[in-house]
Amino acid sequence: MQCGGGALTASRPNVDRARRLRLAMTLPEVLLWQALRTRPEGLKFRRQHPVGGYVADFACLPARLLIEVDGGVHAHDAIANVDRLRQIDLESHGYDVLRIAARDVLNELDGVVQMIVAECLARTPLHHAPHGPPPRSGEDFL
């Protein structure tokens, strides 16, 4: 399904699938989630986030970045081809997909988190919406 701005909305079955996947995360996903949930650099991440007909392992929505933790099974030709088609579809809707090997999460978690944060910051808009209502006439922004 598509809604305004080219974003993909998830169907109810896909939302339910994402909820089930949150309960069955792999060790690399759990470790990465423990690091990302602390909101490094103030960035908010979601885990097992439904996007259209897919469920992304992690998402930073302001950066429109989806993060996939790929185990060894993703190296097989058939699965790699499905991954490529999925990535093309997601990119056609304005998302970037960052693929990270599960072994890298296990061996270099800090470096992986730094790389993810750098990728998100590079894609995040420079200007953020102000917090709270605008100042009244005659008030300063201070």
- The answer as to whether 135 is a domain residue is no
User: DSSP class of residue 131?
Assistant: S
pTM > 0.75: no
- The answer as to whether 134 is a domain residue is no
The winner for highest mean pLDDT among 29-33, 55-59, 74-78 is 29-33
Distance CA(23)–CA(32), nearest Å, equals: 15
Counted domains in the chain? 1
> Tens digits of per-residue pLDDT, 77-115?
667 777 788 888 888 888 999 999 999 999 999 999 999
CATH number of the domain enclosing 113: 3.40.960.10
Please determine, for residue 141, whether its predicted confidence score (pLDDT) is greater than 60: no
Bridge partners, 101 (sequence order): 70
> Tens digits of per-residue pLDDT, 11-54?
677 677 677 777 778 899 999 999 999 999 999 999 988 887 78
- The answer as to whether 129 is a domain residue is no
Query: Residue holding tokens 């995040």?
Result: 124
- The answer as to whether 128 is a domain residue is no
- The answer as to whether 16 is a domain residue is yes
Q: Which two tokens stand for residue 84?
A: 């490529």
